[in-house]
Amino acid sequence: MLARKWPLTILVATGCAIAVVLLSGRATAETPKRGGTLTYMIPADAPPSLDGHREATYALVHAVAPFYSVLMRVDPENPSDTTHFTCDLCLEIPTPTDDGKTFTFKIRQGVKFQDGTPLTAADVAASWHEIVFPRKGVLSARQNWYSMVDSVETPDATTVVFKLKFATGVFLPSLADPYAFIYEKKILDTDPHWYENNVMGSGPFHFVNYTIGQSIEGVRNPDYYHPPEPYLDGFKGLFAPKQSVRVDAIRADRAAVEFRGLPPSARDELTADLGNKIAVQTSDWNCGNLITPNSSRKPFDDVRVRRALLLAIDQWHGGPALSKIANVHTVGGIVFPGSPLAATKQELESMAGFWPDIEKSRAEARRLLKEAGAENLSFELLNRNVDQPYKFVGIWLVDEWSKIGVHATQKVVPTGPWFAAMRSGDFDVVVEANCNSIVNPVLDTQKYLPHDEFVENYGYYKDPVEADIYDKMLHEIDPVKQRVLMRAYEKQIVDVEAHEFPMLWWERIVVARSYVKGWKIGPSHYINQDLADIWLDQ
């Protein structure tokens, strides 16, 4: 009896062994490995300072975000979700009280700064106070995001309370600002400029070294409060403004990744050379170009001329073609396409500039130009001296406008003169960009407010109707009603008045060596950069 059972026993045992091997192999591939140093490229020269509160460049975030904690953040497990946020230092995202005007955060205990000082609610409050109410002589780059904040208080060592002047849906997402590093209160009290040249954080990595213009290094924080992260022993960020250097570095495995994004040509080059040693992630980018006619100049003060220019542009066909050579992809309105507040395709197609029938659209454009007496319109398109995707979009637009008989010449200038021309109103039509970190549509679309409401709008138009809609939207906390208002706002800007033309949303293409695991792409190059969840499958 026993002898007859042996073959079956062996079969079962072999089967179990195979199953164990297969399952353990799969478990190993999914289980993060600890160890290793990640070297990555930062596509810029050094940031102006190391202070997140005062700077606006991604070079700063890519360099120092790993050293710092924030109050709350985009979910690193799903950074593409534009509405879901998680706690970093907080224990849970609060539900507002007091008719939506009070947000009470409980702060995690046991967190320490690199110098061993315990982090308390006082540090969180002091940091946010510097952001929202910077003292004289202290620069806060995003102070205007928090105009609704009335006070930041700490009733006890574990609680931070934000009190608002009015209830609004934009506040909570804005707290997930990736630049909102939490600093030590005692350092801020002694010298509020200290963080410009120094690092003292409580994040997943401890600061080791910063060589000006060259590199920044960190090592694992053994006391990090989100165990088992970080997985890496350390990291090294190398500054390299030139794209060819970054691409070659990834090719030669001198660096594993560049987090901002590469153009399609670089992706294709690396994929062709390295095959499965390369992993590519793509995402819609919370950045898009917009075309702004100068409404203070003739003939752009005439809505018929503006509308004609908008109707001439075929984004539905231009997008797929341009995406092969430029970092653009998705057709969208003024709101980031991945957001619940964004227009659907049907809603877009009802607006000028998005009609599905381009011939009909261009015929209407020619009719409007004729009616306005601007049939042989000729003007200068001001553009910024940046290849991706400004110049590609500019060249494409000149061609699109030529199809309705408009002769546009492109004037490309460096960033400083570009800003100066916009601020002085010395241009006909300009190619701008609207780039934001957290997807916060109501805040992100402030850019479209009339100039007298929002100084950084360079269209130089007045539109009390638009301003009124925006104000209602800012104070609206019901998402359904907010969406209705956003549609009305967008229609007023784009379809009714053609104040601004939102162009193709950018496409973010991140190419990494395939052994880099754990990092997930999001819609912004500013977010999800603390490296805590990254591990190396080597």
Nearest to other proteins of 114, 445 (CB atom): 445
Q: How far is the CB of 144 from other proteins (least distance, A)?
A: 4
The residue (of 110 and 213) whose beta carbon lies closer to other proteins is: 213
Tokens of 381: 């398109």
Q: What is d(CA 412, CA 435) in angstroms, rounded to the nearest whole number?
A: 20
Cβ nearer to other proteins, comparing 154 with 445: 445
434 C-beta neighbours (distance < 10 Å), count: 21
DSSP assignment of 95-149: PPBTTTTEEEEEBPSS-B-TTSPBP-HHHHHHHHHHHHSPPTT---TTGGGGTTE
Residue closer to other proteins (CB basis): 78 or 209: 209
Where on the chain is the footprint of other proteins (CB under 8 A)? 45-46, 48-49, 55-58, 134, 137-144, 196-197, 211-215, 236, 238-242, 244-245, 248-249, 251-255, 273, 287, 414-421, 423-424, 432-437, 446-447, 454-456
Minimum distance, C-beta of residue 213 to other proteins, in the bound complex (Å): 5
- We find the least distance from the C-beta atom of residue 413 to other proteins, in angstroms, to be 8
CB of 71 to other proteins, least distance (A): 20
Torsion of CA 506, 303, 426, 403, to 10 degrees: 60
Q: Work out how close the CB of 191 gets to other proteins at its nearest, in angstroms, rounded to a whole number.
A: 13
C-alpha–C-alpha distance, residues 429 and 292, integer Å: 6
**HEC letters along 163-193:** EECCCCCCHHHHCCCCCCCCCCHHHHHHCCC
Query: What Rg, from alpha-carbon coordinates, does the chain have?
Result: 26
Question: Residue 509: helix, strand or coil by DSSP?
Answer: strand
Q: Tell the smallest beta-carbon distance from residue 183 to other proteins (Å).
A: 17
Q: Which H, E and C letters describe 352-366, residue by residue?
A: CCCCCCHHHHHHHHH
Q: Judged by CB, which is closer to other proteins: 161, or 257?
A: 257
As given in the structure block, the two tokens for residue 215 are: 């590199």
Beta-strand relationship, 378-384 and 205-211:
unpaired
Comparison of 138 and 484: residue with beta carbon closer to other proteins: 138
Least gap, CB of 434 to other proteins (angstroms): 7
In the complex with other proteins, the residue whose CB is nearer, 135 or 317, is 135
